[in-house]
């Protein structure tokens, strides 16, 4: 079965690709063997992150448009926040990118975080590797936008684009160093608004000492995604970062981060939230959660 699905995906069968993603999400028996059989790929992954309201989806939509104009095939993973109760996606970014729904060069999939603390889907690495096997020219991952925990995107993306808006002055001042340091490119979106130039100037001054140890200066690109302004400059900046990666060790760190998350997943594989919920409902009176979780420590598990 898996070999036929792989052949279909290689031949551009979108239905087979979508079905295989569902198999990975639902951990259909044998899916891990499929992943092991995938050949390595150098397809670049672009991570687009930033606080809510920064225009990440509109920016992604405009970037898709430019890549399609250049005859590129693009896969987009939109990671939505999920319900805390049924773990389903709440937003559905495909609605905001509906013009690409039937375009043969664009594949868009919305994924729920399913309770993942890092703002990404728990199977995002595996799904991204499957998309690489499908031979797209670019893969774009748009994150939830939940704050500091977005730094998890740095373990997945070859290029991390942090999107902010001119009104985010106070917000940028309070950003933790982690989110600031993962940025390969800062996008100041909605830059047609008043004060954008002053904001960019202050951002450069603030970033100068923080990024003094970078081999290359972190670029700041002004865009107005709604009007598709500055998108060409953004794509040029992305391509420059991809080219420069040949001269630094970020790739090794990306692989280490990727391996770490995969090992973490496999070790937690038999621990399910619904099972924890049922067991916690049966806690004896007076027993606290710390006593309960000791059952799951390696030395106490059979």
Q: Give every residue of the chain whose pLDDT is below 50, as ranges.
A: 82-90, 92-94, 115-118, 146-149
pLDDT of residue 84: 42
pLDDT of residue 87: 45
pLDDT of residue 215: 53
Q: Which of 102, 106, 52, 55 is nearest to 227 (CA)?
A: 55
Indicate the fold that domain 39-248 takes in CATH: Rossmann fold (3.40.50)
- Cβ-based neighbours of 243, under 8 Å, separated by 6 or more: none
Q: Which of 198, 121, 187, 114 is nearest to 152 (CA)?
A: 121
CA angle 1/266/300 to nearest 5° reads 135
pLDDT of residue 131: 95
CA distance 193 to 222: 11
212-249 residues labelled b (16+ CB within 10 A) or e (exposed): eeeeeebbbbbbbbeebebbeebbebbeebbeebeeee
SS3 73: coil
Cβ neighbours, 10 Å, residue 258: 15
Q: Which residues pair with 222 in a beta bridge?
A: 188
Q: How many helices (H) and strands (E) does the chain have?
A: 12, 7
CA distance 26 to 32: 12
DSSP string, 87-152: --BSS-GGGGGGGGTT-TTEEEEEEE-TT-TTSS-TTHHHHHHHHHHTT-SEEEEE----SGGGGG
Contact present, 221 and 230 (Cβ < 8 Å): yes
pLDDT of residue 36: 87
Q: Which of 179, 186, 184 is nearest to 245 (CA)?
A: 184
Cβ neighbours, 10 Å, residue 181: 17
CA distance 148 to 165: 17
Pairing assessment for the beta strands 219-222 and 106-112 based on DSSP bridges: unpaired
pLDDT of residue 51: 80
* Confidence (pTM): 0.81
Which residue carries 């993942």 as its tokens? 116
At residue 220, what are phi and psi to the nearest 5 degrees?
A: -120, 125
pLDDT of residue 90: 46
DSSP string, 136-201: -SEEEEE----SGGGGGGGGT-SEEEEEE-GGGHHHHHT--HHHHHT-SEEEE-STTSTTHHHHHH
* Domain ranges within the chain, ordered by starting residue: 1-37, 39-248, 270-300
SS3 103: coil
């Amino acid at each position: 079965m898996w070999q036929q699905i792989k052949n279909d995906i290689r031949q551009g069968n979108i239905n087979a690709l979508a079905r295989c993603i569902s198999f990975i999400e639902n951990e259909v028996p044998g899916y891990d063997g499929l992943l092991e059989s995938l050949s390595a790929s150098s397809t670049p992954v672009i991570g687009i992150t930033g606080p809510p309201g920064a225009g990440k989806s509109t920016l992604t939509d405009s970037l898709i448009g430019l890549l399609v104009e250049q005859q590129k095939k693009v896969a987009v993973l939109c990671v939505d926040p999920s319900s805390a109760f049924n773990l389903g996606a709440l937003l559905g970014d495909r609605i905001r990118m509906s013009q690409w729904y039937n375009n043969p060069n664009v594949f868009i999939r919305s994924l729920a975080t399913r309770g993942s603390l890092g703002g990404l889907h728990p199977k995002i690495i595996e799904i991204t590797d499957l998309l690489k096997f499908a031979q797209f020219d670019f893969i774009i991952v748009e994150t939830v936008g939940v704050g500091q925990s977005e730094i998890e995107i740095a373990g997945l993306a070859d290029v991390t684009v942090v999107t902010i808006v001119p009104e985010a002055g106070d917000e940028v001042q309070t950003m933790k160093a982690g989110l600031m340091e993962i940025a390969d490119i800062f996008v100041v979106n909605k830059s047609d608004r008043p004060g954008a130039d002053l904001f960019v100037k202050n951002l450069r001054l603030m970033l100068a000492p923080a990024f003094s140890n970078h081999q290359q200066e972190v670029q700041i690109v002004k865009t107005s995604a709604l009007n598709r302004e500055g998108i060409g400059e953004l794509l040029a900046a992305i391509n420059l970062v991809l080219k420069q990666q040949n001269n630094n060790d970020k790739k090794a760190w990306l692989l280490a981060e990727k391996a770490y998350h995969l090992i973490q997943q496999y070790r937690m594989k038999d621990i399910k939230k619904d099972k924890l919920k049922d067991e916690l409902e049966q806690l004896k009176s007076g027993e606290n959660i710390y006593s309960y979780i000791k059952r799951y420590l390696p030395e106490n598990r059979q």
